Amino acid sequence: MIGARAIQGLGASLIFAPALALIVDAFPLAQRGQALGLNALIVSLGVTAGPTIGGLITESFDWRWIFFVNLPIGVVGLLVARRIMPFRGGRGAGRLDVPGAALFGVGLAGLSLGLSFGSEWGWTSAPLLATLAVGLAALGTAVLVERRQRDPLVNVTELLSVRLGLPLASFLFSIIALFAVGFLLPFYFEELRGFGPLAAGLLLTPYSIALAVSSPLAGRLADLGGSRWLPPIGLGLSAAGLFLLSLIDAETSPLEIGVWLAISGVGQGIFLAPNTREVMNALPTEESGRASGLIATTRVVAQSLSVAIAGAVFAGLGGAAAGAALVGGGADSTNGVALTGTFLGAMHAALLVSGLMAAAGAAINVSARLRRPANTPRL
């Protein structure tokens, strides 16, 4: 399972970076925000359909079909990608930074693996500590190696700059908040409220639909010169939606939950396209592939962090155990009220932490604007 998850994550990263660069290159610079908004729309449609289709498959067939159904989709995607994204030789004299690629690969793999399986292995277990130690050591060594490379895979100086580093850091926190919702709420809908997988998937769709609607609009507005404060406003709105979600209880209506999800989704949609546009514009046009690679890597690391943080808070406060007991008939026992209280307390804390992550991303984005030199062009 570990190997399969690692391979799947690697494949997603390999296709996301060149695909994003191709989308950006297909539009003129003045329409870059529109291109990124359309990209976010496509991703959101996939996120919207995923839980619903997954729930339908789970209810109708064996759960393993969730993985099997992706095989023909992957084959079609491979054929389409091969046709529309042909390999082209490098346009410059730079060489592939093999040491940097190897060290960053080992480092990010170790970090992602440890964070993804921390709850299963135990946060103080020897395998987890060893995996994280190897990952952190490789990343630290990579930084030292990259500073001495003539053509580094990652320019550390650029990465620490206000123009590139802070928007990437803000993006990291936004994805941590974004994926925590899809990870946490199915437990609430299925274990506490008793909805089936299909219904739980449908109840999550306001989040992705709102993101899909707002992203192209925000991207177009960014192209018209109104992107300066869109990202922090969007993440602030997303944080507000998550804070409201952290107040739900066992009697909250699905309509109310849908409204809070939509608010958070709109905020993410307002944030993503303009912020990604800033990251892409931070590097020269001919380096759009490197910029999209940084975005893809940040996304993968943030997804691992999101599950690790939300899962650790939820399980650490007894939410996972209480949910399992409720599913096993605990709701009808004398301690059903106590189990429900424990479950909701853990859920509230995990959603609150996710909201704080979004708020932190908004604060970082504001800092980027206040610290940017006055002669820096508006994006």
As a three-state string, the secondary structure of 9-76 is HHHHHHHHHHHHHHHHHCCCHHHHHHHHHHHHHHHHHHHHHHHHHHHHHHHHCCCCHHHHCHHHHHHH
Mean per-residue pLDDT over the chain, rounded: 78
**Token output for 43:** 């991703």
Window from 88-102, 131-145, 262-276 with minimum mean pLDDT: 88-102
pLDDT given for residue 8 in this prediction: 47
For residue 102, being part of any structural domain is answered with no
Share of the chain above pLDDT 70, in %: 74
For residue 170, being part of any structural domain is answered with yes
Domain that holds residue 74: 2-85+153-371
For residue 345, being part of any structural domain is answered with yes
Closest of 11, 175, 176, 10 to residue 109, by C-alpha: 10
Whose structure tokens read 């306001």? 206
pLDDT given for residue 239 in this prediction: 95
For residue 112, being part of any structural domain is answered with no
For residue 122, being part of any structural domain is answered with no
pLDDT above 70 for 123:
yes
Instruction: Return the CATH number at 49.
Output: 1.20.1250.20
pLDDT given for residue 343 in this prediction: 94
pLDDT above 70 for 45:
no
pLDDT above 60 for 278:
yes
For residue 119, being part of any structural domain is answered with no
pLDDT greater at residue 144 or residue 87: 144
Supply φ then ψ for residue 152, to 5 degrees.
Answer: -70, 145
For residue 148, being part of any structural domain is answered with no
pLDDT above 70 for 12:
no
pTM (two decimals): 0.77
pLDDT given for residue 13 in this prediction: 47
Cα dihedral 292, 295, 301, 304 sign: negative
Distances (CA, A) of 94 to 21, 101, 152: 18, 14, 9
Window from 41-50, 194-203, 241-250 with minimum mean pLDDT: 41-50
- Structurally, how many domains does the chain consist of? 1
pLDDT given for residue 101 in this prediction: 79
- 227-277, pLDDT tens digit by residue? 678 889 999 999 999 999 999 999 999 999 999 999 999 999 899 888 888
pLDDT given for residue 24 in this prediction: 56
Q: What is the rounded (10 degree) CA torsion for 195, 201, 204, 205?
A: -140
**Mean pLDDT throughout 218-231?**
74
Helices (DSSP H) in the chain: which residue ranges? 2-25, 32-60, 65-68, 70-84, 98-116, 118-121, 126-146, 156-159, 162-187, 197-203, 205-223, 230-245, 254-281, 288-316, 319-327, 336-371
**Mean pLDDT throughout 323-343?**
78
For residue 377, being part of any structural domain is answered with no
